[in-house]
Structure 1
Amino acid sequence: MNSSSTEPAQKRIDGSSVRIGALVPLSPPGWVEAGRHLLAGLELGVGEVNEAGGIVGRPLELVVRDTAADPRRAVAAVDELAGLGVAALAGEYHSVVARAAAARADALGLPFLCSSAVLDALTGQPTEWVARLAPAQSHGWRVYAEFLLGAGHSRVAVATQESAYWAAGTRVLRDRLTPRGGTVIELDTHELAPAALCDELADRRATALLLLVGHPEPAVSIVKAVRGDRRLAEVVIGAPAGQPEFAAWRSSLGADGAAIPFLRYLPERPSPLGTRVGTALHERLAEAPSFVAFEGYDTIAVLADVLRAHGTDRARTAEAWARVDVEGTRGRIRFSRTPGIDVRQWAWPPVQVVDRDPADPDRFRILHTG
């Protein structure tokens, strides 16, 4: 596993460091671009904490472990980081990986602030050790379902791969659409090549196709096939998991990647803090920051506030989740107990449905908020 530490603080700080373990997908088959943005936000946050004097005079240090989207690797990293004496865990983008890490952190009594993963059931049982910034999948995907219904889509096909995350998303869509007269048609991409999937879409008269699959493949091949099929000229392609957010989507698909609605977790208008952090993230990444980068920054803002106020004792950190009240880049962050969610949850970050503008694919259009 690779590891790194944050850059030295610009102001003098004495004492041993306060260490935060960071779980981030930085190599395939993980979504490396998402991991890079998440890490940029975490590192920016740590740098600013240290410039402001650290944690009561002690430097904050980020100890990074690459999960590579592998739950077993994540569990091993949690064990290693716990042994290294980290005060808390942070990060992770992939929901299935975060679930494994959260369950292990809960078993070890190690506080874990999950930055980006959205699967509702992170630990399988109520816990005080885990809190989460990202909205639960059931919340965000319900917003997406409302967008589909509002746009007149009642016959919705989902191109799926086997995964607890995709299966949970399909259930949310079906539970929301079916009572309103909608139909969800499942198309298994293990059984259907892109051309055969196009035939199914045409035969079953779907008006929308949602990509519940990995990127770049098979997502890119499916988009190209649908865009190139004249029978499907009116079919809207959607990607609720957010694949079009990142630059790799734009470079892989060009104009074909525009007008594909997806979920992101940003406010319609950034606050002064959000604007300042966005500028700093843009400089660090050399590209526009995704919402995932802001999630990383907000993670450190919360942890630094807790550690300053309550020290580095792990039990005290977990007890403090309920008292968090921190200005984040996307709103005021407070954690609560939310029905159906087994961890302390920020309810809720802002949720948008956006797409890339066909006239300018580098520009995002807000289509719906919730």
Structure 2
Amino acid sequence: MSTPTSTAGAGPRTGGGAVRVGALVPLSRPGWAEAGRQLLAGLELGVHEVNDGGGIGGRPVELLVRDTAADPERAVTAVDELAGLGVVAVTGEYHSVVARAAAARADALGLPFLCSSAVIDALVDEPAEWVARLPPPQSRGWRVYADFLLGAGHRRIAAAVQPSVYWESGIRILRDHLAAHGGAVTALDVRALDPSALCDELAALGATALLLLAGSPEPSVPLVKAVRADPRLAQVLVGAPAGQPEFAEWAAALGRDGAGIPFLRYLPERPGPLGERVGAALRARLGGAPSFVAFEGYDAVAVLASVLRAHGTDRSRVAAAWPAVDVEGTRGRITFSRTPGTGVWQWGRPPVQVVDRDPAGSAGDGFRVLHTG
């Protein structure tokens, strides 16, 4: 599906036509559609504010949105289409396997790609000059999560794993980090075990924590319900490092059963003035609390607008400007550098938190910060 193009809050049209920017967003199943809606809200708010501020040299920014539906091939087709439509850059994408495909295609075409939300370390197979990324590499965030588990006394851990490059990368990071501190992770294949059988395996293992390395709502929601209902597992911590409990659909599906499940979130403990202002605007736009993904979308537009204003709209000049980026974002100062193992221009220190939905809140509403790194 291709969504209509939009020029949000367009300012005066001087100095030529609109500056087109492509956006890759999962807006339909099997993509994580709620994350996609949050990401799009941040992107659109960012474009609205850029255009209200005069655009790029008096030219409005036009956002061309394409729904990836978590399909790598669909993302590649969208990158080709957007390149043909004359976009100066592409941004967005939440799913790591989709972002990998988009990044490779954009790099091959000589089209700047700013990944807003996908964390897998190897975003590209070979070093890419055209690709930059805002979220932390998975190896950093998931090691922070492993440190949280160790600090809470968990060393015998099970993981309900769904096959994918992303989940396999995650369990490898956890295993390596936990093993260095006397911990171990046992993988349980959700294809082979229904929720009841997985509970039996978990009880037999004597694990103190179960990590959901699987999609939402299926199979994660039924697994949580089964574990919460099993008296043998009353003391088992359920965790979801990939962030499934961040979104409202999780709370709607699970209620109190969805609380007390720690996950990774890329927000500072205390937002600055820009974060406060943008957070309020996002809340009004979304009709509810914005997730960190919405802030990632806004920050992606802030970075691109800064580059385009300073260096122009030529694609090669945009890509060449990644190492010169120095922008105040909603979650801190954004600069890019080369990070070993990623092959892309990477924001060095985005904030990382481990949080959960507060069990004491109404139906598990409200979040608690459990650990930062």
Report the Cα offset of residue 7 of structure 1: 4.5
CA deviations 1:97-153 (Å, max 9, x no partner) are 000000000111100000000011111111110000011100100000000000000
Report the Cα offset of residue 305 of structure 1: 0.3
Aligned mates of 1:13, 1:44 — CA distance in 2: 19
Aligned to 1:91: 92
Does 1:310 pair with 2:306? no
Aligned to 1:178: 179
Preserved CA contact (<8 Å) 2:241 2:263: yes
Aligned to 1:367: 370
SS of corresponding position for 1:62: strand
Report the Cα offset of residue 5 of structure 1: 2.8
Report the Cα offset of residue 179 of structure 1: 1.4
What are the ranges of 5 or more consecutive residues in structure 2 without an aligned counterpart? none
Report the Cα offset of residue 340 of structure 1: 1.4
Pairwise mapping of residues 313-352 of structure 1 onto structure 2 (< 5 A)? 313-352=314-353
Preserved CA contact (<8 Å) 2:43 2:300: yes
SS of corresponding position for 1:223: helix
Aligned to 2:207: 206
Amino acid of the residue matched to residue 164 of structure 2? Answer: S
Aligned mates of 2:175, 2:96 — CA distance in 1: 20
Aligned mates of 1:347, 1:157 — CA distance in 2: 31
Preserved CA contact (<8 Å) 1:237 1:260: yes
Preserved CA contact (<8 Å) 1:157 1:201: yes
Preserved CA contact (<8 Å) 1:106 1:123: no
Aligned to 1:136: 137
Aligned to 2:13: 13
Report the Cα offset of residue 3 of structure 1: 2.1
Report the Cα offset of residue 2 of structure 1: 1.9
Amino acid of the residue matched to residue 317 of structure 1? Answer: V
CA deviations 1:215-246 (Å, max 9, x no partner) are 00100000000000000000000000000000
Amino acid of the residue matched to residue 347 of structure 2? Answer: W
Preserved CA contact (<8 Å) 2:26 2:70: yes
Report the Cα offset of residue 9 of structure 1: 2.6
Amino acid of the residue matched to residue 311 of structure 2? Answer: H
Aligned to 2:79: 78
Report the Cα offset of residue 8 of structure 1: 4.5
Amino acid of the residue matched to residue 366 of structure 1? Answer: V
Preserved CA contact (<8 Å) 1:16 1:59: yes
Report the Cα offset of residue 248 of structure 1: 0.1
Aligned to 2:42: 41
Does 1:4 pair with 2:37? no
Pairwise mapping of residues 196-345 of structure 1 onto structure 2 (< 5 A)? 196-345=197-346
Amino acid of the residue matched to residue 4 of structure 1? Answer: P
Preserved CA contact (<8 Å) 1:20 1:86: yes
SS of corresponding position for 1:159: strand
Aligned mates of 1:17, 1:49 — CA distance in 2: 12
Q: How many percent of aligned residue pairs carry the same amino acid?
A: 72
Report the Cα offset of residue 11 of structure 1: 3.7
Aligned mates of 1:288, 1:4 — CA distance in 2: 26
CA deviations 1:242-272 (Å, max 9, x no partner) are 0000000000000000000000000000000
SS of corresponding position for 1:173: helix
SS of corresponding position for 2:120: coil
SS of corresponding position for 2:260: coil
Preserved CA contact (<8 Å) 2:156 2:183: yes
Does 1:106 pair with 2:107? yes
Pairwise mapping of residues 114-193 of structure 1 onto structure 2 (< 5 A)? 114-193=115-194
Preserved CA contact (<8 Å) 1:6 1:46: no
Preserved CA contact (<8 Å) 1:4 1:62: no
Report the Cα offset of residue 348 of structure 1: 1.6
For this pair of structures, how many residues does the alignment match?
370
SS of corresponding position for 1:157: strand
Amino acid of the residue matched to residue 352 of structure 1? Answer: Q
Amino acid of the residue matched to residue 271 of structure 1? Answer: G
SS of corresponding position for 2:328: strand
Aligned mates of 1:235, 1:266 — CA distance in 2: 27
Aligned to 2:24: 23
Preserved CA contact (<8 Å) 1:40 1:285: yes
Task: With the length of structure 1 as denominator, give the TM-score of the two structures.
Answer: 0.99
SS of corresponding position for 1:76: helix
What are the ranges of 5 or more consecutive residues in structure 1 without an aligned counterpart? none
Aligned mates of 2:86, 2:7 — CA distance in 1: 20
Task: With the length of structure 2 as denominator, give the TM-score of the two structures.
Answer: 0.98
Report the Cα offset of residue 368 of structure 1: 0.0
Amino acid of the residue matched to residue 331 of structure 2? Answer: R
SS of corresponding position for 1:63: strand
Report the Cα offset of residue 362 of structure 1: 1.4
SS of corresponding position for 1:180: coil
Pairwise mapping of residues 52-67 of structure 1 onto structure 2 (< 5 A)? 52-67=53-68
Amino acid of the residue matched to residue 13 of structure 1? Answer: R
Amino acid of the residue matched to residue 57 of structure 1? Answer: G
* RMSD across aligned positions (CA): 0.8
SS of corresponding position for 1:350: coil
Amino acid of the residue matched to residue 9 of structure 1? Answer: G
CA deviations 1:10-61 (Å, max 9, x no partner) are 6423230000000000010000000000000000000000000000010001
From the superposition, tell whether residues 8 and 37 of structure 1 become closer, same or farther in structure 2 (CA, over 3 Å).
Answer: closer
Amino acid of the residue matched to residue 164 of structure 1? Answer: V
From the superposition, tell whether residues 58 and 10 of structure 1 become closer, same or farther in structure 2 (CA, over 3 Å).
Answer: closer
